[in-house]
Amino acid sequence: MTTETHPGPRFTRADPIPQHHAVRSPVGRIVSWLALAIVLLIILNTLLHNDNIHLDVIARYLFDWRILEGVLGAIALAVVSFVFASVIGVVVGYARVSRNPVARTASWLYVWFFRSVPLIVFILIFGNFALFLPKLGIGLPFTDVSFWSVSTNSVLVPMVAGGVALSLEQGAYLAEIVRAGTQSVSESQREAAAAMGLSPWQIERKVVLPQAIPVMIPPAGSTFVLLLKSTSLVYAIAGTEVLGVAEQIASQNLATMEMLFVASIWYLVLTSLASLGQRYLERRTSAYRRRVRTTDAAVTAQAATEGDAGARSA
């Protein structure tokens, strides 16, 4: 007894390939847009027709000189912290891929520690660092001999303490970005460069970094956007960035919600501008990587063609 099997339908080039999702009805898209519009209208109506929110207060303080100083303080804090975090990230990131086991272990401990503890905890620790070390100075270890010392509170003012915390915490994330970027370059390219007589520094500068930097820029841009938003946490130690200034004003005029809306508007503006810059960098790096891939493919094809021609002539 034999059992006949019926194969499924076969399609040739002339037969149309069934595409169940090729034709989409616009009804679902229209319903989605209507739902989104309704939600936005509800939110706007709640804000504009709420007796507990005074829009004139928001408009009055949106460009208040104290708020603008807080905006500049947030920008300066984010930029300076990102510069120091980048230096830390490069050093620790390269230590993570070092052949030295001590450097690898120390860098791993750094990344593990600063990625595990919440940022707000570090900000509070450095904001109250004088409780741990009343004075900072230089002297002989394990002795009472001191060559120079200064009060901790005079050095770690709120904005400096916040910048130190932000730099150390974000440096751990940038270190992982650097590590991933350098490891994206294959080991064979390093070996080929070493065979050509390049020094380790020349290999990193001429072979690894030109390929790793385009990979690192997009996540580094996202890190800066996150850092810009995280500057708001410095208000916990009376920092003078946007949220800290808004809280100080709210304690005077008792318009707490209005001042929180003012701070939110400015953070939306700052992070949106930073996101646009990130998008621009991503497009530039994507175009660069496409050009590199096209050039490599052309060189490979040319080498193959020349090799075939040499083999035929031989």
Q: What is 3-44 written as a DSSP string?
A: ----PPP---SSSPPP-TTSS--HHHHHHHHHHHHHHHHHHH
Question: Any residues with CB less than 8 A from the CB of 237 and at least 6 apart, and which?
Answer: 123, 124, 126, 127, 128, 158, 161, 162
Q: What is the pLDDT of residue 306?
A: 53
Highest mean pLDDT among 2-11, 14-23, 101-110 belongs to 101-110
Look up tokens 């998008």; give the residue: 279
Q: What is the pLDDT of residue 240?
A: 87
Q: Which of 41-45, 137-141, 238-242 has the lowest mean pLDDT?
A: 137-141
* Mean pLDDT taken over the chain: 83
Q: What is the pLDDT of residue 89?
A: 94
What does the alpha-carbon distance between residue 98 and residue 107 come to, in Å, rounded to a whole number? 10
* pTM as predicted: 0.77
Q: What is the pLDDT of residue 70?
A: 93
Tokens of 6: 């019926």
What does the alpha-carbon distance between residue 145 and residue 40 come to, in Å, rounded to a whole number? 66
Between 183 and 312, residue with greater pLDDT: 183
Model confidence at 20: pLDDT above 60: no
Orientation angle between helical segments 256-313 and 242-253, nearest 10 degrees: 170
Q: Taking residues 148-157, report their average pLDDT.
A: 87
Question: For residues 78 and 84, is the Cβ–Cβ distance under 8 A?
Answer: no
CA distances from 159 to 68, 125, 156 (A): 16, 13, 8
Tokens of 121: 């905890």
Using 50, 70 and 90 to split pLDDT, how confident is the model at 78?
A: very high
Model confidence at 300: pLDDT above 50: no
Model confidence at 181: pLDDT above 50: yes
What pLDDT digit, counting tens, does each position of 275-294 carry?
898 888 878 776 655 655 55
